[in-house]
Amino acid sequence: MVKSISNLLKSFNSNVNPGEIAHAFSCGAILGLMPKDNLFWYLVFLFILFIRINKPSYLIMILVGAAISPAFDSLFDNVGYWFLTIPAFSSFFGTLLDIPFVAFTKFNNSVVMGSFLCGILFYVPIYFFGRFLIFIWRKYAASFIKNSKVYKLINQLPFISKIASSIGDR
């Protein structure tokens, strides 16, 4: 975990394209919001691994999304129920359930479907928030933190110095 945080902070300060980090935030949020006990989650996880994004940001956002998702389960349930009960899609969903192994994706679970749809809906706002966060970090926060007394104190601790040193690397 320390190495992932260190790599994330290094990517914030390096010449990594901010779009790669912002896309990683958005993709990680999609998976973080979804329940992890279904095949659909693993398929989306593997698909996103083949996209060029910042992997430490992706993994950390999965953890952040997983931490906050229980608070929104009732919203996900309502959105998923609404989508799964659209009359025009009922025959399509019935056909999908007849296909072997598709039921393992649990797409017909209202929380799984609702969290996926909400993750897709929040993709663009999280992307722009990530770009803004990286801009603020690179422009103001990194130099402010590097010059602070707290940073200098933390830099003396051997365990945390690895994370703290990545803040100032450019």
**Is the pLDDT reported for residue 6 higher than 90?**
no
In percent, the amount of the chain with pLDDT more than 90 equals 44
Is the pLDDT higher at 138 or at 6?
A: 138
Q: pTM of this prediction?
A: 0.75
Angstrom distance (rounded) from CA 16 to CA 80: 36
User: What is the residue-averaged pLDDT of the chain?
Assistant: 83
| Residues whose CB is less than 8 angstroms from the CB of residue 139 and which lie 6 or more positions away in sequence, other chains included | none
**DSSP type of residue 100:** T
Average pLDDT over residues 97-106: 86
